[in-house]
Structure 1
Amino acid sequence: MTVDALRLSGIHKSFDGFKALTDAHFAARWGEVHALLGENGAGKSSLMNIAAGLYAPEQGELLVDDNPVRLGGPRDAAALHIGMVHQHFKLVRPFTVAENILLGHPLAQAEGSHRRRMAQLEEQIRARAAELGFAIDPRARIDRLSIAEQQRVEILKVLLAGARILILDEPTAVLTDQEAERLLATVHALSRQGAAVALVTHKMSDVKTWADRVTVMRGGRTVATVDPKATPIEELVRLTVGQSVAASQAATTPAAGGAPLLTVRGLRLHANGRQALDGVDLTLHAGQIYGLAGVGGNGQGELAEALMGMADGLEGTVLLTGEAAPVQGRLPHFAAIPADRYGLALAGGLSVVENFGIGQVQAGRYGPAWRLDRTRMAADTREAVQAFDVQGVRHLNQKAALLSGGNAQKLVLAREFGRTPHLVLAHSPSRGLDVRAGAEVHARLRAARDAGAAVLLISEDLDEVLALADRVGVMARGRIVAEFDQPADRQAVGQAMVNHD
């Protein structure tokens, strides 16, 4: 008889009266990769957070190695060799890579000097990072790493803590094709060595290639568990969203674009002890999506922050419709969708209505800041929540932090597209989103382009860039090293991403 490494049966969980999980089931066996699919807000993360000891179920049973267990917290889960890599990172930003990993590592309780323990840990980090194909400096501070690099640290932290039941929540969302394939190959190899892997993902190709089984959730319930290799992608999509969803396709005729709306010349930025931007030249045209591809950590995040007016010490020239624009402060008629939606786009401790309304406060739509028309703000928010299908909003005064990742992204889109933008910056806009939510984001970007906006799409998902962009650029070592007209050759773009001076 096959032994289940991890089994959750009949799980119920509510938050503030909202039923997030209703009779949910999931089981992962030793020696397998078991994928978990579902729309944003379907309950996947809630279910896995119960397995990781972060939440306690109201009903149901949790078994590890076929033995019933009760988890009092993440430490109990870690003692049972359960480790979870969260989609939204659980890292201490002012700490170094090694200091973060030490927090959950056995060396934290070992005897000997702190310096000696850190030296041992740094050696382990370098060795495991090399095995995974990650370029990680153990002494680098977390707040000086890109989103992609922080994701790699989370993966290293769990593996080095000794986890044999691995829960990975969107682990490849910020990795390039090559990095994702290498990571999943490593995860697959770990499963074949006896580990159990629960893989939460929205990438059907990952499920088809790497998963042994897949469980689908919808509306807090388990819908089905099937063999992904024997199940067509169309059927997996139908199970996930309850209906067919057209995949995002590249435009048959790329938009030529109109007049230049934003021109950047010689943009330079020295940050975190390195030359983050090294002479970026970029032109965005009205009515065109410019897709910027590249391996994470090559200046994409700094470029996005520079265009959002958040970079100090920025040098270079920025022209807006042919006239000089300030390199500090936010550009006018500018919609920004940053990669770190909770850190840069939303204030999790504020309400849904406050997060939405702030986008129009400066414009004066709700009157002076000291006497806001909160009735009008609430009406606008309610209308936007409905128009953008933001799920999980039980009342407008609930904290934005209670929204799932995909619905938080929809709230950002509702706010940023509440006005008609002339310029749009979208950095990894569909990261961690399900098929339907990702398609909706892509439709919004195309609609903005068709309305005449200039759109800059920055993404480490090459499929997303090639599907949306009218023109493709590649960023490496802080500058744009290659540009391609559509239809671009995928192999040529990939080579430009990894082969550069």
Structure 2
Amino acid sequence: MAEKLIELKNISKQFPGVLANSNVNLTINKGEIHAIIGENGAGKTTLMNILYGLYEPTQGEIFIDGKKAVIKSPLDAIKQGIGMVHQHFMLLPSLSVAENVVLGSEPKKKKFFMDYDKAIEITKNLAQKYGFKVDPREKIEALSVGVQQRVEILKVLYRGADILILDEPTAVLTPQETDELFNVIRKLVSDMNKTVIIITHKLQEVLAISDRVSVMRQGKLIGTLPTQQADAKILTEMMVGKEVLFHDLHREKVSGEKVLEVKDIKAKDNRGLTVLNGVSFSLRAGEILGVAGVEGNGQSELVEVLTGLRNLEDGDYFINGKKITDVNPSNMRNLGISHVPEDRLTMGLSKEASLWENLLMGLQHKKPFVVKKIHLNKKKIFERTDNLIKEYDIRAIDRYMKVKKLSGGNMQKVVIAREFSFDSPILIIAQPTRGVDVGATEFIHNQIMRKRNEGAAILLVSAELDEIMRLSDRIITIYEGSITGEFKNKEVTKQTLGLYMTGKQNKLKGSEDN
């Protein structure tokens, strides 16, 4: 019989105007990998932040090993053997691995100074004990994301954690790095008697790694079941509260003429360093070209160049066979490009403006929405607004509601609705479902595929490899500002893409030669 390790009893957390957790009762067994899943805003991270001491519950109790635990801070949690690795790493890039691991609990020499050699020895021994391949002397800024995550886990283990909480641990990992992380997690549980709690939204990974899975919806625990009794359909329906059909969206269709092409383009980042280094590709009408890469390898800058938001330093840019010399946002829109930016709040929306004002952006100077160049035609504007609200299932009180009061998924629908309503022949879409729940993701995917089937040429940039593979006709991989590979979707695996995304494609070629 499973041994109870953690019991959360009747946990509620009230924030001003929001009940984040409502009477949650959850049991975590000793020595298990327990996944907690739910849509954005379901309360899963809040619940784990309570367990880690970042929040105090409004009501409820926590028991560890059958004893009531008072956890008012992360220090209290650490004393109870609980450690948490957050989605956004808390490492100091300029310091070494060893310095980061011992930070806050440094070994001392002469009472006042950190014993660096001792820190190296501690980190080396810890890494060997848990099977982590890290160099204690390496600077964090020189490490891959996957290795940085291992350093975060080492930090937690150094402080004596027997219970590890991992928040969205694979959010920025390649398939290979995800496999390596899962091997580490399994070893921690099987060989080191650790207990691991994973907060995630990736259902296939839940099914691959966990022993049990708990589903949350709207702050409540919907249920917990053994992973062996679950599948993606069951879990999705528990998360959303209704059936969600993630069917194959691909439709066999011959793509049309080449409408966008770049040849050997180069660009610099905000520090003046070259970030795009001779990128070339083409995009045809009626196809989706996916750009796959680990974040920070030039994808964002590529989108900015194509939409006129960043200077093109060198190379050629063609639309419908015509070389473009005036690359600025206004001209790109006039040339038939719509843009869904990766950061909807910074670049896609005006938070203080109303729903109808955000949906009007880009048309405020055009007929029939303006009369005599200065007067807005509210009748036409509101008619269009109401049609888009209905068509794109934007859940708002009314057209006057400020965008900042919408959920993340509905904010994204506003951007999608506005940009798609231009009927532009070219769509450049970045991170279309970032921070969006399962139901909204399905809706947005269907809208993207609808535009593709209507003949739009779509460049899709996403950190979600599942999304790239679900939607794309062709896929290019980018690494350190260069295109490393091009594939037809049905002819490539995640593992192969992962190698090309990290510049390790020669390993694949070497294995094929043997």
Normalising by the smaller structure, the TM-score range is: 0.7 to 0.9
Please say which of residues 156-165 and 95-104 is displaced more in the overlay: 95-104
Residue in 1 that maps onto 2:239 = 240
Instruction: Tell me if the contact between 1:128 and 1:156 (Cα under 8 Å) persists in the aligned partners.
Output: no
Instruction: Tell me if the contact between 2:98 and 2:123 (Cα under 8 Å) persists in the aligned partners.
Output: no
Residue in 1 that maps onto 2:19 = 19
Matches within 5 A, 1:89-488: 89=88, 96=93, 98=95, 105-107=102-104, 111=108, 120=119, 124=123, 138-140=139-141, 153=148, 156-157=151-152, 159-161=154-156, 162=159, 163-192=161-190, 193-253=192-252, 255-271=253-269, 275-311=274-310, 314-323=313-322, 324-327=324-327, 329=329, 331-332=332-333, 334-339=337-342, 350-351=351-352, 353=353, 357=357, 360-361=360-361, 363-364=363-364, 388-389=392-393, 396-397=401-402, 399=404, 403=407, 406=409, 409-410=412-413, 412-414=415-417, 416-417=419-420, 419-431=422-434, 433-488=436-491
Inter-partner Cα distance in structure 2 for 1:418 and 1:119: 62
**Paired AA for residue 183 in structure 1:** L
How far did residue 414 of structure 1 move? 4.5
- Change in CA separation of 1:305 and 1:25 when aligned onto 2, cut-off 3 Å: farther
Inter-partner Cα distance in structure 1 for 2:443 and 2:389: 14
Residue in 1 that maps onto 2:48 = 48
Q: Indicate yes or no: 2:505 matched with 1:499.
A: yes
Instruction: Tell me if the contact between 2:98 and 2:119 (Cα under 8 Å) persists in the aligned partners.
Output: no
3-state secondary structure, aligned to 1:475: strand
Instruction: Tell me if the contact between 1:423 and 1:455 (Cα under 8 Å) persists in the aligned partners.
Output: yes
How far did residue 63 of structure 1 move? 2.9
Please say which of residues 58-67 and 223-232 is displaced more in the overlay: 58-67
Inter-partner Cα distance in structure 1 for 2:218 and 2:63: 23
- Change in CA separation of 1:300 and 1:378 when aligned onto 2, cut-off 3 Å: same
**Paired AA for residue 19 in structure 2:** K
Inter-partner Cα distance in structure 2 for 1:164 and 1:27: 16
- Change in CA separation of 1:398 and 1:153 when aligned onto 2, cut-off 3 Å: farther
In the alignment, structure 2 segments of 5+ residues that lack a partner are 508-514
Inter-partner Cα distance in structure 2 for 1:68 and 1:301: 48
* 1:371-430 per-position Cα deviation (integer Å, ceiling 9, x unaligned): 999999999888866765567989944846x946x5554454345445444433333433
- Change in CA separation of 1:131 and 1:413 when aligned onto 2, cut-off 3 Å: farther
Please say which of residues 480-489 and 197-206 is displaced more in the overlay: 480-489
**Paired AA for residue 448 in structure 2:** L
Inter-partner Cα distance in structure 2 for 1:101 and 1:410: 44
Instruction: Tell me if the contact between 1:356 and 1:414 (Cα under 8 Å) persists in the aligned partners.
Output: no
Higher Cα radius of gyration: 2
- Change in CA separation of 1:408 and 1:449 when aligned onto 2, cut-off 3 Å: same
How far did residue 214 of structure 1 move? 0.4
Residue in 1 that maps onto 2:70 = 70
How far did residue 228 of structure 1 move? 0.9
- Change in CA separation of 1:493 and 1:46 when aligned onto 2, cut-off 3 Å: closer
Inter-partner Cα distance in structure 2 for 1:377 and 1:158: 53
Inter-partner Cα distance in structure 1 for 2:95 and 2:150: 13
* 1:205-225 per-position Cα deviation (integer Å, ceiling 9, x unaligned): 212211010011122211111
Instruction: Tell me if the contact between 1:56 and 1:71 (Cα under 8 Å) persists in the aligned partners.
Output: yes
How far did residue 275 of structure 1 move? 4.4
How far did residue 308 of structure 1 move? 4.4
* 1:29-64 per-position Cα deviation (integer Å, ceiling 9, x unaligned): 332110112223322222223223333322222234
**Paired AA for residue 221 in structure 1:** K
Please say which of residues 235-244 and 181-190 is displaced more in the overlay: 235-244
Inter-partner Cα distance in structure 2 for 1:155 and 1:373: 57
- Change in CA separation of 1:486 and 1:17 when aligned onto 2, cut-off 3 Å: closer
**Paired AA for residue 59 in structure 1:** Q
- Change in CA separation of 1:132 and 1:471 when aligned onto 2, cut-off 3 Å: farther
TM-score normalised by the chain length of structure 2? 0.77
In the alignment, structure 1 segments of 5+ residues that lack a partner are none
- Change in CA separation of 1:425 and 1:125 when aligned onto 2, cut-off 3 Å: farther
- Change in CA separation of 1:114 and 1:346 when aligned onto 2, cut-off 3 Å: farther
Instruction: Tell me if the contact between 1:212 and 1:227 (Cα under 8 Å) persists in the aligned partners.
Output: yes
Inter-partner Cα distance in structure 1 for 2:382 and 2:89: 32
Inter-partner Cα distance in structure 2 for 1:357 and 1:99: 49
How far did residue 462 of structure 1 move? 3.6
Inter-partner Cα distance in structure 1 for 2:62 and 2:379: 46
- Change in CA separation of 1:85 and 1:357 when aligned onto 2, cut-off 3 Å: farther
- The CA RMSD over aligned residues, in Å, is 4.5
Please say which of residues 8-17 and 267-276 is displaced more in the overlay: 267-276
Please say which of residues 41-50 and 335-344 is displaced more in the overlay: 335-344
Inter-partner Cα distance in structure 1 for 2:303 and 2:135: 22
Instruction: Tell me if the contact between 2:7 and 2:62 (Cα under 8 Å) persists in the aligned partners.
Output: yes
Instruction: Tell me if the contact between 1:427 and 1:459 (Cα under 8 Å) persists in the aligned partners.
Output: yes
Please say which of residues 289-298 and 29-38 is displaced more in the overlay: 289-298
Residue in 1 that maps onto 2:512 = none
Instruction: Tell me if the contact between 1:165 and 1:195 (Cα under 8 Å) persists in the aligned partners.
Output: yes
Inter-partner Cα distance in structure 1 for 2:375 and 2:118: 57
Q: Kindly, what percent of the aligned residue pairs are identical?
A: 31
Instruction: Tell me if the contact between 1:102 and 1:108 (Cα under 8 Å) persists in the aligned partners.
Output: no
Inter-partner Cα distance in structure 2 for 1:243 and 1:328: 44
